[in-house]
Structure 1
Amino acid sequence: MSVAEENFYPKEKKQKIAVVLHQASSTTGRIGQILQRNGFELSIYRPVLGDCLPATLEDYAGAIIFGGPMSANDNEPFINREMDWISVALKENKPFLGICLGAQLLARNLGGVVKPRSDGEVEIGWYPIEATGRGKSVMDWPKMVYHFHSEGIYDLPQSAELLAKGNTYPTQAFRYGENAWGLQFHSELTRAMMQRWVVHGAERLELKGAQCAKSQLEGRFVYDPALRRWIEQALVKIFGKPEKTIQS
């Protein structure tokens, strides 16, 4: 096709999703791959490195805040900015997904509490979750999910719906309104990402309740296929499929 012909035929403009990551080396993993395969474009922001977040999500199909090694309770400017920024998605009723740290920031934005267990037990590895009655009515859920956290969500406001619960930390998934979702667990990890996490976070595997690296990697073969199928369906539930728009 010639340049003239390319200019004659309008190009489709992809809908964007605003994505917040927390390290220079962080990636969107499998979730990013699925969203891009579904036709979305990802706009990456790293407030921890000084990136400014968009003042409005008017030009976005939704937003995601991923996890990170920091605490949702850290009194860091970027943590406070991210937590306040969630109000933009809520006010504009845009689809929002918080994963681990992102879910904890959503809970805090709504008035919930994020804290460690009094006995210091963590969730690092594969652990079972159980869907609530409300959760079952929303979608099917995986039985086993992957965790890498030492704090959990407590005291969800009554306006938020608990969708899945766990034995160690009570809040595993919740929804606020129709469009804001929080997941305490990780479904985005590729095998390479999991290997990096267990290597770089080796000291955390000594914490109470954490599973050894061998168990985590072996568990992936058993539990990850169902988790992968679930997140593919869940992303469509949360963000839908992008509408085709034409560039002018």
Structure 2
Amino acid sequence: MEKEILIVKNISREGPGLLEEVIKECGIAYTIIDLDQGQNFPPVENFGAVVVLGGPDSANDTSEKMKSELARIREAIESNIPYLGICLGLQTLVKAAGGTIIISPTREVGFIDPEGRNFTTELTAEGKRDPLFDGLDHSFKVFHLHGETVELTNDMTLLSVGKFCRNQVVKVGKNAYGMQCHFELTPEMIETWINEDPDLLLLDKKQLKENFAAIQDDYRRTGQTLFNNFLQIAEF
């Protein structure tokens, strides 16, 4: 039977975007579950990979939704099912694997950091060697939308760091990855987010669009390469 990728949305507006485009181009079967619409996070044992997207929840929440989400992610880790988490999906990965979620020292929102420069993330020595970043530069301009961050256990690997929020890309085991930034963002998604997300509503819409346009080509190429690398790691 053909392997499928399970994609889990924590809020309806935060979909897989560019990742979905890459999956379609590769002809890979996938299922999208929207927890925001009351759908259940299914058992992961029959999926070839699991992707968990962003959302406004905290991995520290004690809701039944979050308890179930963390339990399913633990199943993926324990079964060595390839995993990719984005934003909240990073935080739930770290929480499920025994790490800690805390308030970020800097609330990172948008494209521009507190010093007026693009938010960037830099690969560590381990990141430079990891297949997730094959064919990519060692520094990336990124988009952020988070107020919490992660503290790692000793057996987690830090692959990329930021200036204001250090732990940006994390690896758990041999094939579970989490990214704090959003490389799935498309022009259609940014249009929706800047009109609906409470944190982005506080920023200048015109400026956000200009910030995205300024880096969009490189951003897209990086996202496509990164997502294709993950699919290879997942053996699709």
Same fold (TM over 0.5): yes
Q: Distance in 2 between matches of 1:232 and 1:171?
A: 22
Q: Aligned pair 1:70/2:66, yes or no?
A: no
Contact kept in structure 2, 1:48 and 1:78, CA below 8 Å: no
2:109 corresponds to: 124
Q: Aligned pair 1:61/2:61, yes or no?
A: no
- CA apart distance, 1:25: 4.5
Query: Structure 1: any 5+ residue segments left out of the alignment?
Result: 1-12
- Alignment length (residue pairs): 224
Q: Distance in 2 between matches of 1:202 and 1:91?
A: 36
Q: Secondary structure at the match of 1:19?
A: strand
2:160 corresponds to: 164
- CA apart distance, 1:170: 1.0
Q: Distance in 2 between matches of 1:105 and 1:26?
A: 16
Query: Structure 2: any 5+ residue segments left out of the alignment?
Result: 112-118
Counterpart code for 1:54: P
Q: Please report the TM-score for the alignment, with normalisation by the length of structure 1.
A: 0.82
Counterpart code for 1:50: G
Percent identity, aligned pairs only? 27
- CA apart distance, 1:202: 4.9
Q: 1:179 to 1:243 in 2, by over 3 A?
A: closer
Counterpart code for 1:53: F
Q: Which structure has the larger Rg? A: 1
Within 5 A, what are the aligned runs for 1:78-93? 78-93=65-80
Q: Deviations over 1:53-89 (max 9, x none)?
A: 332423x220100001222222211111111111121
Q: 1:128 to 1:136 in 2, by over 3 A?
A: same
- CA apart distance, 1:201: 2.3
Contact kept in structure 2, 1:159 and 1:176, CA below 8 Å: yes
Q: Please report the TM-score for the alignment, with normalisation by the length of structure 2.
A: 0.86
- CA apart distance, 1:14: 4.6
Q: 1:202 to 1:243 in 2, by over 3 A?
A: closer
How large is the RMSD of aligned CA atoms in angstroms? Answer: 2.2
Contact kept in structure 2, 1:112 and 1:156, CA below 8 Å: yes
Match of 1:240 among 223, 232, 235: 232
2:188 corresponds to: 192
Q: Distance in 2 between matches of 1:27 and 1:71?
A: 18
